[in-house]
Amino acid sequence: MKSLGIDARMWRHSGIGVYLRNLLPRVVNKLPEVWFVIMGDAGALALGGQLDRENVSLVNFSSPIYGLREQWELRRRLPRCLDGFWSPHYNFPLFFGGKRLVTVHDMCHLALKQFVPGFHRRYYARRMLTQVAKQADAIICVSTFTKEEFNKYVKVPHQRIYTVHNGVDEFFLASATAMQSPPVHYPYILYVGNVKPHKNLPTLLQAFVSLMGEIPHNLVVVGKKEGFIAEDQKVLNFAAGYGGRIVFTGEIDQETLKQYYLHAAMLVFPSLYEGFGLPPLEAMACGCPVIASQAASLPEVCGQSAIYFNPFAPAELACKIKELLNDERRRQLLQGAGRKRAGQFSWDKSAARTVDVIKELLDIT
């Protein structure tokens, strides 16, 4: 029996955590002939029974992510009999002797250096990503854009790079009826994502403020706002000057998020940089029209089912928001096209493609 170790320390995170929670159970189910050693918080991994399989061993592993300590701990804790190891992020085990598979989600640390505080963080990212190119036996990128960015910034030729798109959670794709009353009592425009510099919230805030006197809608910002840096604090301070018209919900559960999508006039996603970008697809799955930045991976992911704008042009965004609010026909067209587009991205497809990569990695016929 072939064996594969997996670093699942980020199981409960957003972002990569979503990737792990959706892919790992599916991959394990599709490869009963492989023994999986899944490393992380064994208690959290066992909850819900998604990984409760005869071919799965859960191993407690809590070393902090990034840095020298995790490299030492990985070298010490990894079973020597493993045939391969899958890292869902670029912090892969440098000293592992078996086959190595690494997933690269984005190249933000190198592409947007101005938003990454601390030379040591940028240096670490560059060194590790360079080692990924040199040492990994296979690399999965979550979009063609990320694959191109990897080749652009690392500049180390690698023959086995695969594009495997993320999926949309079936929870959002399932037909749903909005609650009789929405999660809030006012009409609103929605943003979903963390309050981080590359998310480009200032452009959205400026566009919204310029429209406040013409529309009854509030702006609802859904996502984590703790742990931000100085520039993010400026965003919050700016928003605080407009009373209750700009609302930050903080993190919310998936059911509440779905209701926000279902009742929103639109989702606006102004990000400067995304390796993939799940919120626009989640919104589309719920029938919520999307206005998205024309940057990075977003045109690849959203296709012809979104309205695009220059992320550096608040006035252009304001115009597009106003036009869509006043055009019910176009909203209906976007709702239909969006649902169809979201349906093209499933975690089952992602898992099937990932399984193909693992089989090739481990020489399973």
| Domain residue extents for the chain | 2-167+346-362, 170-342
Give the pLDDT of residue 228: 47
CA-CA distance, 208 to 317, in Å (whole number)?
9
CA distance 86 to 21: 15
Confidence at residue 208, expressed as pLDDT on a 0 to 100 scale: 97
113-121 long-range Cβ contacts below 8 angstroms, 24+ apart:
115/196, 115/197, 115/198, 115/231, 117/229
Q: Can you give the pLDDT at residue 196?
A: 85
Question: What's the pLDDT at 229?
Answer: 47
Can you read off the two tokens belonging to residue 130?
């360079």
Q: Classify domain 2-167+346-362 by CATH number.
A: 3.40.50.2000
What pLDDT score does 230 carry?
Answer: 44
Which amino acid would we find at residue 17?
G
What residues pair up with 333 in beta bridges, in sequence order? Answer: none
Summarised one tens digit per residue, pLDDT across range 98-121 is 999 999 999 999 999 888 777 888
| Closest to 283 (Cα-Cα) out of 311, 263, 304, 299 | 263
The pLDDT value recorded for residue 180 is: 58
Domain 170-342 in CATH: superfamily?
A: Glycogen Phosphorylase B; (3.40.50.2000)
pTM score > 0.95 for this model?
no
Query: Cα 186 to chain center, whole Å?
Result: 29
Q: What is the dihedral of CA 316, 268, 183, 250, to 10 degrees?
A: -110
Fold match, 2-167+346-362 / 170-342: yes
One digit per residue, the tens of pLDDT, for the chain of length 365 reads 999 999 999 999 888 999 999 999 999 999 999 999 999 999 999 988 999 999 999 999 988 888 788 898 888 888 889 999 999 999 999 999 999 999 999 999 999 988 877 788 888 899 999 999 999 999 999 999 999 999 999 987 778 999 999 999 999 988 755 555 789 999 999 999 988 889 999 999 999 999 999 999 999 999 887 654 445 677 778 877 887 899 999 889 999 999 999 999 999 999 999 999 999 999 999 999 999 999 999 999 999 999 999 999 999 999 999 999 999 999 999 999 999 999 999 999 999 999 999 999 999 98
Dihedral in degrees, nearest 10, Cα atoms 85, 87, 90, 95: -30
- Note the pLDDT of residue 330: 98
Q: Give pLDDT, residue 232.
A: 62
* pLDDT in the model for residue 176: 58
Share of the chain above pLDDT 70, in %: 96
Give the integer Cα–Cα distance in Å for 230 and 241.
17
